[in-house]
Amino acid sequence: MYKIIEKQKLSETITKLVIESPRVAKKRKAGNFVMIRVKEGGERIPITIADSDIEKGTVSIIVQAIGKTTKMLCSLKEGEYVLDFVGPLGEPTPIENFGRVVCIGGGVGTAEVYPIAKALRDAGNEVIGIIGARSKDLIILEKEMGEVCNKLYITTDDGSYQGKGFVSDQLQDLINSGMKIDGVYAIGPIPMMKVCANVTRPFGIKTYVSLNPIMVDGTGMCGGCRVTVGGKMKFACVDGPEFDAHEVDFDELIMRNRTYADLETISDKTYEEHVCKLEGVK
Ligand SMILES: Cc1cc2nc3c(=O)[nH]c(=O)nc-3n(C[C@H](O)[C@H](O)[C@H](O)COP(=O)(O)OP(=O)(O)OC[C@H]3O[C@@H](n4cnc5c(N)ncnc54)[C@H](O)[C@@H]3O)c2cc1C
Ligand code: FES
């Protein structure tokens, strides 16, 4: 059992949880994730490690409540527990001194790009950040990203905060302005990562994305997270989750992620409609 030490709501649907797990805190590197099971009989879900504190033995995760399990996780209170917290999993992000790197986070993808931006800054890179969301109230980690980036751009789809448009528009603007870019890390919804890959491809800028296929065990045994990269079959949980963006078959990933859409909708609806008979019992 893993105790929730701290809980903070970052937006209507996004919650930060600080969880006690000294061993994960000690071993994790930027880009690693954990597999979480909230309670007995529940499904396992992968969540990126956003930060850790070795002294306190805690790990921070940032979760967007979009379906049954993430809603259940975000509804837990400080002092409550999650059943399983397995990690650190996945290949750590390749961190080196590239020169000038652009780190892009779309929506909750900002939580995943933040530890990478921090590690790239510590490795001596000049880090340019671009974070975006649909509207102002969905922007997360502005302060944290501002602290690790030499320059931070913010975009909102509806123009309610800073630049109007998509994060990929801002990336295109930087390239058009003649800025020399040595590498790009783009993490967020699949269409966003696909567009960022298309923006950098003509300029030959090395671009990494973090893929989010369905994961079941996170250890390379179930085959659930199969993706095609450079024409070869890869398992995102052990070969990734980060890959060369110009080699990823995004359309196949989108199609495979829809496999359980009907069942996920039913499960989410049932969870929303469920009324716990124990609520209010002292
Ligand atoms: C390596 C990795 C890191 C991730 N990091 C984060 C993170 O830091 N914060 C965050 O909020 N989300 C993260 N996700 C996504 C998160 O795992 C899904 O949102 C979550 O599993 C949805 O579960 P649900 O029951 O709430 O929703 P559902 O209604 O079951 O599903 C909603 C969406 O999530 C996808 N999904 C469902 N189950 C899984 C699964 N087992 N594995 C992967 N995707 C699934 C579905 O394809 C669907 O598009 C990450 C995914 C991966 C693969
Ligand atoms: S999640 Fe099972 S093989 Fe990757």
pLDDT confidence of 279, banded at 50, 70, 90?
A: low
Is 108's C-beta closer than 6 angstroms to any atom of ligand 1? yes
User: What's the pLDDT score for residue 52?
Assistant: 95
- pLDDT of res. 250: 96
* CA of residue 249 to ligand 2 center, whole Å: 18
Residue in 51, 66, 177, 169 with CA at minimum distance from that of residue 110: 51
Angstrom distance (rounded) from CA 52 to CA 55: 9
Tell me the C-alpha distance between 51 and 113, whole Å.
11
Q: Which residue's CA lies nearest to atom 3 of ligand 2?
A: 220
**What's the pLDDT tens digit per position in 230-256?**
999 999 999 999 999 999 999 999 998
Residue 69 CA to ligand 1 centre (angstroms): 9
Give the pLDDT score at 264: 79
What is the number of the ligand closest to the CA of 38? 1
Q: What is the pLDDT of residues 94-145, one digit of tens each?
A: 898 999 999 999 999 999 999 999 999 999 999 999 999 999 999 999 999 9
Report residue 271's pLDDT band, with 50, 70 and 90 as the boundaries.
confident
Q: What is the mean pLDDT of residues 214-240?
A: 96
Rounded CA-CA distance 209/244 in Å is: 7
Regarding the beta carbon of 86 and ligand 2, being less than 6 Å apart is answered no
Whether pLDDT at 272 is above 90: no
Mean pLDDT of the chain: 93
Residue 277 in this model has a pLDDT that exceeds 70: no
Is residue 269 over pLDDT 90?
no
Statement: residue 37 has pLDDT above 70: yes
CA of 215, closest atom in ligand 1? 42
What per-residue confidence (pLDDT) applies to 148? 96
Residue 280 in this model has a pLDDT that exceeds 80: no
Query: What are the helix (H) ranges across the chain?
Result: 22-27, 68-75, 109-122, 142-148, 167-176, 190-200, 236-239, 250-257, 261-273
pLDDT given at position 239? 97
**Whether 85 contacts 19, CB under 8 Å:** yes
Q: Which of 82-86, 204-208, 277-281 is predicted with the least confidence, judged by mean pLDDT? A: 277-281
69 within ligand 1 shell (Cβ under 6 A): yes
- Say if ligand 2 is within 6 A of residue 266 CB: no
Nearest protein Cα to ligand 1, atom 49: 257
Over the stretch 147-176, which tens digit does the pLDDT of each residue have?
Answer: 999 999 999 999 998 989 999 999 999 999
Q: What is the helix, strand, coil percentage profile of the chain, to 5?
A: 30, 30, 35
